[in-house]
Amino acid sequence: MNEAEFIAALRRMPLHPGARRLEDDCALITIGSQTLVINHEMMAEDTHFRPEADPADVAWKLVATNLSDLAAKGAEPVGVLLGHALGRDDARFLLGLGQALEAFAVPLLGGDTVAATGASTYAMTAIGRATHLPVPARRGAAVGDAIFVTGPLGRAMLGFEGVAEHREAFNRPSPRLAEGLALAPHVTAMMDISDGLLIDCWRMAEASRVTFALEGEAIPVADPARRDACIRWGDDYELLFTAPPAAALPVAAHAIGRVIQPGASPLQLDGAILTDPAGLGYQHG
């Protein structure tokens, strides 16, 4: 099964209302006057990092990717739980983990450790506190909204390829926590860009039952000569969101298109209708 088929099968199981039909990156649980935002991420060798990657960087990225999903919900991190398979250079992993937790002021709540063989796999659950209700979701973009991103795309791709000035963008990304907190009261929909701008726009438009019309030249990229690759590669962890075009946004952002009536496809690029999500970004399976 590929990822989409597996998730479709999960939707036939009993779901908590806070699961949002598995159409979002986080689950919500309301306890009294507080709403908790919960996310779980995994990272696997040869999929998310090279076998020769520094385990300190892997640990940092595991924390950052989890917090990026909280950022897209405008959530304030409460803590994380770690799932760790003992392996090579656990001391380096612990070093990077501590550096990330300190950098983002997030405490460790606990987790589980196992002995394992084979490729390295790590998992983490992040718990946050919603700061605005309703909590932003992928669903909610409305016809007439403008589409925004918080920063340039393609830096992680260039870092992966060895471009020195962008290496940190791939190895140690920074979740847009402050931007997410500030934007939550102003957006109609929001998510982080992890698998590539085009595929994530497709997903947000599909969840919102609308069409996103993007303007290629308006999309900020790290290498204009490779614009198409920059908007498909992923691992950027910028925020993608929609808001009324006249909204007074509290953070700097780039308008890259508009939300239009649903059409033959969830996504258009420079007027061209994109009909197949395959090739628009990274998909598991």
Give the pLDDT confidence score for residue 284 in this predicted structure: 45
Lowest-confidence segment of 40-44, 200-204, 252-256 by average pLDDT: 40-44
Positive or negative torsion for Cα 53, 55, 57, 60: positive
Please report, rounded to a whole number, the percentage of residues in the chain having pLDDT higher than 90.
Answer: 78
pLDDT tens digit string along 215-245? 999 999 999 999 999 999 999 999 999 999 9
Could you give the residue ranges of the DSSP H alpha helices within 219-258? 227-233
Rounded Cα distance, 203 and 154, in Å: 19
Q: Are 138 and 208 in contact (CB under 8 A)?
A: yes
State the average pLDDT over residues 177-184: 98
More confident of the two residues 177 and 246: 177
Mean pLDDT of the chain: 93
Lowest mean pLDDT of 7-16, 134-143, 258-267, name the range. 7-16
pLDDT for 203 beyond 60: yes
CA separation for the pair 265, 282 (Å, rounded): 19
**Is it the case that residue 17 has pLDDT exceeding 90?**
no
Q: Which structural domains are found in the chain, ordered by start?
A: 3-130 (3.30.1330.10), 146-274 (3.90.650.10)
Comparing 84-93, 101-110, 156-165, 214-223, the range with the smallest average pLDDT is: 84-93
What is the average pLDDT across 15-19? Answer: 87
Interval 144-172 mean pLDDT: 96
- Model-level pTM? 0.93
pLDDT at 282: 60
Pairing of strands 211-214, 267-269: parallel
- Determine how many CB atoms are found less than 10 A away from the CB of residue 113: 11
Q: Supply the pLDDT for residue 45.
A: 82
Query: What is the predicted pLDDT for the residue at 94?
Result: 97
pLDDT in tens, 25-84: 899 999 999 999 999 999 888 777 888 899 999 999 999 999 999 999 999 999 999 999
